[in-house]
A = this chain, B = another copy of it.
Amino acid sequence: MDKKINVALLGFGNVGSGTYTAFKENCELISKKVGAEVVIKKILVRNIANARRVDAPAELFTTDFNEILNDADIQIVAELMGGIEPATEYMLKSLAAGKHVVSANKAALANALPKFNEAAKAAGCMLRYEAAVCGAIPVMGAISRALTGNEITKVSGIVNGTTNYILTRMAAEGAPYADVLADAQALGFAEADPTGDVEGFDAANKLSLLTAACFGVYIHPDDIDRTGITGVTMDDLKAAEAADCKIKLIASSEIKDGKVCASVKPIQVPAESFLGRCGSEFNAVQIDCNMAGPIFLQGKGAGPEPTGSAVAGDIIEIAQAIVNGTASKQPETAIL
C-alpha cells in the first residue's frame, strides 16, 4: 500500500500501549478499512528509559512534543496522557497546526470542551473522543450518529469501574468501604489516591461529555451535582437489598422543565434492571429516546486494550476521512 497516514501517540501508559497493540494486532484489517497504511510514527513519553507494558521500537519514542508538532507528516495526534495540563496545551497546539486530534482524556476535554470544539472548527480538523467515555462502549458514536433522529430525553449510566467494583464487593461480602478500597488498591483496580474515582470526579467528567453530545449543552464538571460513594454505609446497602435494589454510582442527565439537570450520585436501582445487573467489570449506559425508546449499551469501560481499541476506532475514522479528502468537513461529536 503506497499511501500512509502517520499518527503520533502522546503517552504510552495503559491506553497508549493498548492503542499501539490494537494497531499492531489488527494492522491488516485496519489498512483494508482505511485504504492506506496507518503508521504510529512517534510516541511522546516523559522518560525514554522507563519500563513499558508493551514493547515498541526505541526510535519511536521522544520526550519532545515539538518533534511531533513540527513534523508535517504527522496528521493525527492521539492524546492519551491524562491530566489537564500539558494535555490541553498539546491538543490545542496540535489542532492549531492542522493536526486531527483523538483523545481518551475526559478530564481535559470536559474541562474545556467548547474551546476544543472551536479550535477544531477553526482549524478544519476532526476531534474525536469515543475512548474518553466508557472505554470500549461505542456510546459517543451512537449518540452523535445513529440516534440523531431522536430527541434524547435522558442519559444515565455506570461510567466508573472502580466505584462499581467497590460497591459490588461491599454488597456481596458485607465488607466495609475502607477494607474493599484497600483491597482494590492492592489489586490495581483503584489508584493510590482514589479521590477522582470514589468522589465521582471521573464520572462527572464523562457525564459532561455525554451531556454535550446528547443535549448540545455544555456543563462544566464542577457544575454537576456530585456525590461520591465514600458515604455509602452497610445500612444503605442492606436497605437497598431489602428493596430488591442495588446501590450504583449513577451519572445521569435529563431534561426537566426545558433545562438539563446533571448529577452523579449513589442511588438505588432495581436489581433486575439493566443498570442494576451491570457487573463490576463492565460499564453500562442507558439512553432514553423519544422515538427509539431506551437503548442499552454495555461493555468494558476501562483497560488498555478495550480503551485502546476505541482510540484506534477514532483514528481509523479520521484516517478514512483523510484518504477520502473529507476530514475538514465532518460533523462534530457534540454540536454545542
A142 closest partner in B (C-beta) = B138
Interface residues of A in 293-310 (CB under 8 A from B): 293-300, 303, 305-306, 308-310
- Which of A147, A149, A151 has the largest number of chain B CB atoms within 10 A? A149
Q: Which chain B residue lies CB-closest to A146?
A: B138
Is A32 an interface position by the 8 A CB rule? yes
- With both chains docked as a complex, state the minimum distance between the C-beta of A78 and any C-beta of chain B, in angstroms: 11
Candidates B145, B216, B292, B331; contact of A136 at CB < 8 Å: B292
Among A183-191, A195-203, A314-322, the stretch in contact with B? A314-322
Q: Whole-angstrom distance between the alpha carbons of A225 and B303 in the complex?
A: 36
Contacting residues of chain A (257-316) with chain B, CB-CB under 8 angstroms: 274, 277, 289-300, 303, 305-306, 308-313, 315-316
A141 nearest in chain B by CB position: B146
Q: How large is the interface on A (under 10, 10 to 19, 20 to 34, 35 or more residues)?
A: 35 or more
Question: How many protomers of this protein does the assembly include?
Answer: 2
Please tell me if A58 contacts chain B, counting CB pairs below 8 Å.
Answer: no
A320 to B317, CA, bound (A): 16
A233 / chain B contacts, CB cutoff of 8 Å: none
The residue among A32, A135, A299 with the most chain B CB atoms within 10 A of its own CB is A299
Tell me which residues across on chain B come within 8 A of A299, comparing CB atoms.
Answer: 292-296
> What 0/1 readout, one digit per residue, does chain A (4-26) give for beta carbons within 8 Å of chain B?
00000000000000100111011
Cβ of A326 within 8 Å of any chain B Cβ, yes or no, is yes
Residue in B21, B297, B329 whose beta carbon sits within 8 Å of that of A297 in the complex: B297
Q: Which of B150, B291, B309, B324 contacts A149 (CB 8 A)?
A: B309
Does A77 belong to the interface (CB within 8 Å)?
Answer: no
Q: Once the chains bind, are A145 and B274 in contact (CB under 8 Å)? A: no
Chain B contacts of A130 at CB under 8 A? 146
In the complex, are the beta carbons of A150 and B298 less than 8 A apart? no
In the complex, are the beta carbons of A151 and B291 less than 8 A apart?
Answer: no
| A292: contacting residue among B147, B294, B300, CB under 8 A | B300
A148 & B317 in contact (Cβ 8 Å cutoff): yes
**Contact (A293, B324) CB under 8 Å given A32-B335, A335-B32:** no
The answer to whether B326 and A329 have CB atoms under 8 Å apart is: yes
- Whether a CB of chain B sits under 8 angstroms from the CB of A330 is yes
Of A30, A32, A142, A315, most buried by chain B (CB within 10 Å of CB) is A142
**Cβ contact within 8 Å between B32 and A216:** yes
A306 with B331: in contact, given A30-B148, A138-B146, A151-B25 (CB under 8 Å)?
Answer: no
A33 at the interface (CB under 8 A from B): yes
Tell me which of B145, B151, B308, B313 contacts A148 (CB under 8 A): B313
Beta-carbon contact of B136 and A295 below 8 Å: yes
A57 within 8 A of B: no
A287 to chain B, nearest CB (A): 9
Known: A25-B290, A291-B306. 17 other contacts (CB 8 A): A22-B149, A25-B291, A30-B148, A30-B149, A138-B147, A141-B142, A142-B142, A146-B310, A149-B315, A292-B299, A292-B309, A292-B310, A293-B306, A294-B299, A296-B299, A297-B298, A324-B331
List the 6 closest A-B pairs by CB distance, nearest first. A149-B312, A138-B146, A291-B309, A136-B292, A326-B326, A324-B329
